[in-house]
Amino acid sequence: MSELLSPRLLQADWQRIEASVYLLAIWIVVLRTEQTSAWKLALLSLPGTILHELLHFCVGLILGARPVAFSLIPRRAGKRWILGSVSFARITLFNAAPTAFAPLLMLPVAWVLFADWMLPAFWAGAYGIWLVWGYLTACCLLCSMPSWVDIKLGASSALFWAGLGGGIWMALPS
């Protein structure tokens, strides 16, 4: 048992993990800086964009926000690109925050991809699939962040839920 916690073994494991962390950082830089073509950006980000918009759609559907439109067609909005969108007919104080911040559910997906798929692929010497898992993990990490539109939509609802939770917490007997 003490061998599992030896500093030499932990250092060796970190050295094996380090390469995957660097690959993930490289993919994130590539995905964040690829702005030369909207279609190239859209294609590179497609897996994350699909999951991002599907999470909005599914959480909104479950919570009664009534999704009415779903798009994965990139379009220009001023100086930036919108890679996808979901429109709802019934956003309320109850469902706005969970619907707007639903893409944060991709963070555990990114962790599972990293820990259970990317690292074992590297350790097995399957470097091609390791690159693919790194790319998909980076897509999940980047696309899990709510957009400014998401934040504006869910902010008042999030404050409501935080206030309600805080009030309940304060009312509980110590």
What DSSP letter does each residue of 107-163 carry, written as one string? Answer: HHHHHHIIIIIIHHHHHTT-HHHHHHHHHHHHHHHHHTSPPHHHHHHHHHHHHHHHH
Residue with tokens 């409501």: 160
* Domains contained in the chain, number: 1
Q: Give domain status of residue 2, yes or no.
A: no
pLDDT at 34 over 80: no
Residue range 85-91: mean pLDDT, rounded: 94
pTM recorded for the entire structure: 0.82
Q: Give domain status of residue 8, yes or no.
A: no
Q: Identify the pLDDT of residue 80.
A: 77
pLDDT at 66 over 90: yes
Q: Identify the pLDDT of residue 75.
A: 84
Residue range 19-40: mean pLDDT, rounded: 82
Q: Give domain status of residue 170, yes or no.
A: no
- Looking at per-residue confidence, does 170 or 16 come out higher? 170
Q: Give domain status of residue 125, yes or no.
A: yes
Q: What is the mean pLDDT of the chain?
A: 87
Domain, as residue range, for 158: 17-163
Per-residue pLDDT tens digits for 132-147: 999 999 999 999 999 8
Residue range 112-134: mean pLDDT, rounded: 92
Q: Identify the pLDDT of residue 36.
A: 64
Q: Give domain status of residue 5, yes or no.
A: no
Sign of CA dihedral 152, 95, 81, 138: positive
Q: Give domain status of residue 67, yes or no.
A: yes
Q: What are the residues facing 13 on neighbouring strands?
A: none
The 10 Å CB-count burial string (b at 16+, else e) for 27-46 is bbeebeeeeeeeeebbebbb
Residue range 79-105: mean pLDDT, rounded: 92
What are 123's two structure tokens?
Answer: 């350790």
Q: Give domain status of residue 168, yes or no.
A: no
Q: Give domain status of residue 11, yes or no.
A: no
Q: Identify the pLDDT of residue 11.
A: 57
